[in-house]
A = this chain, B = another copy of it.
Amino acid sequence: MEIIREDEAVLPVVSREVQYSFSVYEALRITGGHVVHLDDHLHRLAVSCHDIGLVHPFSARDIEESLERLIAADSIKDATARIFIVGGPSPLFFITYADLLTYPDSYYSDGVKATLYHGERFMPEAKTSNLLMQYIALEEAKRQGAFEALLVDRHGFVLEGTRSNFYGIRGNAVYTAPDDKVLNGITRISVLKAASELGFRIIYEPPRFDELLSYESVFISATSMAAMPLSHIDGTPMRKERWEEVLDMMRLVRKWE
C-alpha cells in the first residue's frame, strides 16, 4: 500500500471489472481521528465481497493499517472515508476521504422530506457500485426538493432509502424490513439497539407505502445522519408524535460512537 495524491486515485477505463461495476465499498465516519465501528464496516465489506464473488488479496489487517497510515499522514481528525475495492484478475484497492458529512440541526428538529421510488435493488445485502437506480431515484428526489428517496418493492413495502435504512414507530414497536431484504446498515444495528434500550420491540415488517400514516413517526438512519425524522413523504406530512424518541435514538447512536 502506498499513499498517493487524490488525483492519482484512478481506474482504468479498459478494465472489464470497472466497466461492469464489479466493485464494493464502505463509507466510514472518522471523528477525532477515531474510525467509528471499523470492525463492523470491515465485516460488512467481507460480506459484500462474498455475496458477489469478489476475491481480493487485501486482508482486514491490510485495510485497517492503510486507513491508520492515511489518518496519521494527513493528520485526519473528522472525515468521511471511503474504502473501495474493484475485483477481477488484478484487484484494486483505494481509501479516499472527504470532509465529514454533517447536517444542519434543523434537519433533526424539523425533519427532512423523502420521495418514493418504485424499484428493487439487485443483491440488497451487498454494498456495491451497482448504484444506478439509487442515483436516479435520489436525483429525482432532489429535483422535488427532498433529501432522500425511499425504495418501494413490488409488494408495496418501503424497504430502505437510497443511502439509508427506513423505520416506522407504532405503539411500543419499531417496524423495519428484515435483514435479508436491505443493506444491513452499521448504524441500523445501533439504531435497533437504541430502540430496544428505549423500550421498543423490533418488528421486522417493513411499512407499506400506502399505510405510512398509520405510523406515529417514520425515520431513516445512516452513518452520516444517525437517526433522522421524516417530515414528508411524496409531499404528504408525516405524523410527529414519536419524534422526540427518534432524536433520543439519534443521541444514543452518537454516544456509542
Contacts and interface: CB of A to CB of B under 8 A. Distances in A.
A11 B14 contact: no
B14 A96 contact: yes
Interface string A38-59: 0000000000000011000000
B135 A132 contact: no
Contacts of A52: 132, 136
A102 to B, nearest CB: 18
A84 B18 CA distance: 12
B12 A9 contact: yes
Interface of A: 6-7, 9-14, 17-22, 25, 52-53, 82, 84, 94, 96, 98, 119, 122-123, 128-136, 139
Given A20-B131, A21-B21, A130-B132, A84 B123 contact: no
A108 B140 CA distance: 46
Contacts of A22: 131-132, 135
A13 B96 contact: yes
A130 B52 CA distance: 14
A12 B10 contact: yes
8 contacts: A10-B12, A10-B13, A14-B98, A19-B131, A20-B135, A21-B135, A52-B132, A122-B132
A136 to B, nearest CB: 6
A190 to B, nearest CB: 24
Nearest to A133: B122
A168 B128 CA distance: 34
A156 to B, nearest CB: 16
A18 B53 CA distance: 21
A151 to B, nearest CB: 11
B20 A134 contact: yes
A22 to B, nearest CB: 5
A96 B134 CA distance: 28
Nearest to A86: B13
Given A13-B96, A96-B14, A122-B122, A21 B53 contact: no
